[in-house]
């Protein structure tokens, strides 16, 4: 009586990306000039999740 039980893998939960907190955008400080004077901020695409807002899942 061997029970065939499929190996249970931990459910992959798409958690929000850390750097952008799930928004897919990250604030980028805008600097100009030689002194790199900060003139403001703009939003840029998050390079960690490429704008999806979901943390990249490590593939084994």
Q: Does the protein bind Zn ion through residue 25 (CB under 5 A)?
A: no
Q: Does the protein bind Zn ion through residue 48 (CB under 5 A)?
A: yes
Residue 41 Cβ, how far from Zn ion at the closest point, in Å? 16
Residue 19 Cβ, how far from Zn ion at the closest point, in Å? 5
CA distance 41 to 28: 5
Q: Does the protein bind Zn ion through residue 57 (CB under 5 A)?
A: no
Pair 41, 1: CB distance under 8 Å: no
Question: In sequence order, which residues have a C-beta less than 8 Å from that of residue 35 and are 6 or more positions away?
Answer: none
Binding site for Zn ion (CB under 5 A): 17, 20, 46, 48-49
């Amino acid at each position: 009586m061997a029970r065939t039980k499929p190996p249970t893998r931990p459910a992959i939960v798409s958690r929000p990306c850390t750097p952008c907190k799930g928004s897919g955008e990250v604030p980028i400080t805008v600097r100009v000039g030689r002194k790199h004077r900060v003139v403001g901020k703009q939003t840029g695409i998050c390079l960690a999740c490429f704008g999806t807002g979901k943390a990249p899942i490590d593939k084994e």
